Amino acid sequence: MKVYPVALNIADRRCLVIGGGPIAARKIESLLGGGAVITVVSPEMVEEILTMEVNGDIRTERRCYRRDDLDGVLLAYAATDDDSLHEQIHRDARDAGVLLNVVDRPQWCDFIVPSIARRGDLVVAVSTSGQSPAMARRVRLDIERDLDPAYEQAISLFAKLRQVLVDLGWEYDRRKEAFEKLLEADLLGALGSSDLGQVDRILERCVGASFSCSSLDWDE
């Protein structure tokens, strides 16, 4: 399977989970992490899903799947133990233009969920194009061991700096050059050692004398 990697914004978008078991619960949790508006359809549901409903995190329909469940949905997960139902959902989703993931059935999937490592706003996704989830997890664990906390701090600082530079009217190429200089000047090392004085000196040298952690209202 050839895949196209993309980070999808699902905040406040309608998503559907068909199935009520432990696997479905895990898919719901991942969608909640992205801020989706979630409906779960299944005649039976594990306690974890029912708790999410009680907490107001999701909406549930305790019944079998219907074709119109896909109306207005951005993406859907099918996580039942019925492959004839999965195949029907696949056909319906194609007709409706809904992106579908059928758990452990790559032949019916429009997208594959990668193994993900997170450090704040830094997201590293590893995929084997659906061929070996176990290998994807292993590679992700190897990467996680090498993800220094300074990466997360740098992203936070860069976000503040980028907005200030945009407000000052700096063009894209000029901003890009400034960020590259900061990284070449070992900003990550200064952040990793919590040396904010050194961070200020690097900012002054690479961006300008008026830039510092305090002027950017940034605190690690």
Determine contact, residues 199/190, Cβ cutoff 8 Å.
Answer: yes
Q: 130: pLDDT confidence band, cut at 50, 70 and 90?
A: confident
Which residue type sits at 12? D
Q: Residue 125's domain spans which residues? A: 114-147
d(CA 90, CA 78): 9
**Least confident stretch, 49-53, 69-73, 121-125, 159-163:** 121-125
Q: Are residues 4 and 19 located together in one domain of the fold?
A: yes
Paired tokens of 46: 């594990």
Determine contact, residues 155/185, Cβ cutoff 8 Å.
Answer: no
Mind listing the pLDDT tens digit for each residue in 42-98?
999 999 999 999 999 999 999 999 999 999 999 999 999 999 999 999 999 999 999
Alpha carbon dihedral 146, 152, 155, 157, in 10-degree steps, equals -130
Q: Are residues 193 and 127 located together in one domain of the fold?
A: no
Query: By CB neighbour count within 10 A (0-12 exposed, 13-18 middle, 19+ buried), where does 167 fall?
Result: exposed
For residues 147-173, give the mean pLDDT.
Answer: 95
For residues 14-40, give the mean pLDDT.
Answer: 97
Judge whether residue 169 has pLDDT over 80.
yes
Q: Are residues 123 and 174 located together in one domain of the fold?
A: no
Q: Is residue 195 part of a domain?
A: yes
Q: Are residues 104 and 4 located together in one domain of the fold?
A: yes
Q: Are residues 30 and 137 located together in one domain of the fold?
A: no
CATH code, domain carrying 38: 3.40.50.720
d(CA 43, CA 63): 4
pTM for this predicted structure: 0.79
Which ranges in the chain belong to alpha helices (H)? 22-33, 47-54, 83-96, 133-145, 149-167, 172-184, 187-192, 196-206
Q: Is residue 216 part of a domain?
A: no
Q: Are residues 131 and 156 located together in one domain of the fold?
A: no
Q: Are residues 19 and 74 located together in one domain of the fold?
A: yes
Q: Are residues 79 and 22 located together in one domain of the fold?
A: yes
Mind listing the pLDDT tens digit for each residue in 176-206?
999 999 999 999 999 999 999 999 999 999 9
Paired tokens of 73: 């949905």
Q: Are residues 41 and 87 located together in one domain of the fold?
A: yes
Please, what is the average pLDDT of the chain?
A: 94
Q: Is residue 10 part of a domain?
A: yes
Q: 147: pLDDT confidence band, cut at 50, 70 and 90?
A: confident
Q: Are residues 73 and 143 located together in one domain of the fold?
A: no
Mind listing the pLDDT tens digit for each residue in 206-217?
999 999 999 999
Q: Is residue 215 part of a domain?
A: no
Q: Are residues 1 and 106 located together in one domain of the fold?
A: yes
The structural domain count of the chain equals 3
Q: Is residue 213 part of a domain?
A: no
Domain end call among 125, 147, 169: 147
Q: Are residues 95 and 8 located together in one domain of the fold?
A: yes
Quote the distance between the C-alpha of residue 194 and its chain's center.
28
